Structure 1
Amino acid sequence: MDWMAWTTLTAAFFGAIAAALVGMTIWELRSPCVERRGFLPITTSRGDRLFIGLLGSAYLHLLVIGVTDWSIWIASVISLVWLLLVMRWG
């Protein structure tokens, strides 16, 4: 049986996602969020913005990989900026 080969980078990525979810859960328990409107066309909570930011980051990675010959690190920086923008002003 072949198992998925986890690289250090892959484990770090999923570990960061898990840490973000745990952190958001603790933050929500300590300080319940009030839904608000930002530049996104819907009213969102912190969890909604995290989900939208992560989903958008995945699509940005696919776009950079599929359309350009840029480094994956450039895609990662662009995706991180997108995530931070959505979390702060989304």
Structure 2
Amino acid sequence: MDWMAWTLPTAIFFGVIACLLVTFTVLAIKFPETPRVGVLRIETTRGDRLFITLLGSAFINLAWLGFVGTDQPYAMIVCAIYAAAVFRWV
């Protein structure tokens, strides 16, 4: 795996994604939910909102790198606000 250049931030990133997937799987088993309709006017479940959040956060981070620079901790704050909004209103 030397060719993949695993750094600590990369390992943490993939570890967090794996933990999120396990957590949402356990939540889906313990607390099944019915899809709800939000501002997008489509039915979404917890997993759908997680996917929308991860995808949007990737674009926020790429835009941050392009327009602002490498101060990524501030981009994480923007992503956390975005995630809260998605889980509340989508």
TM-score under structure 1 length normalisation = 0.88
Instruction: Tell me the alpha carbon deviations over residues 26-56 of structure 1, each in whole angstroms, 9 at most, x when there is no partner.
Output: 0001111111122333221110000001000
Distance 2:44 2:19 in 1: 21
Task: Tell me how large the CA RMSD over aligned residues is.
Answer: 1.7
Q: Which residue of 1 aligns with 2:11?
A: 11
- TM-score, structure 2 as length reference: 0.88
Tell me how far 1:17 sits from its aligned partner: 0.6
CA apart distance, 1:87:
1.8
Q: 1:48-68: CA deviations, max 9, x gaps?
A: 000001000000001111112
Residue equivalent to 2:65: 65
Distance (Å, rounded) in 1 between the aligned partners of 2:4 and 2:84: 30
3-state secondary structure, aligned to 2:3: coil
One-letter code of the match for 1:54? L
Structure 1 segments, 4+ long, off by >3 Å, are: none
Secondary structure, aligned partner of 2:33: coil
Map of 1:32 onto structure 2: 32
- Distance in 1 of aligned mates of 2:77 and 2:44: 24
Q: Determine the structure 1 residue equivalent to 2:43.
A: 43
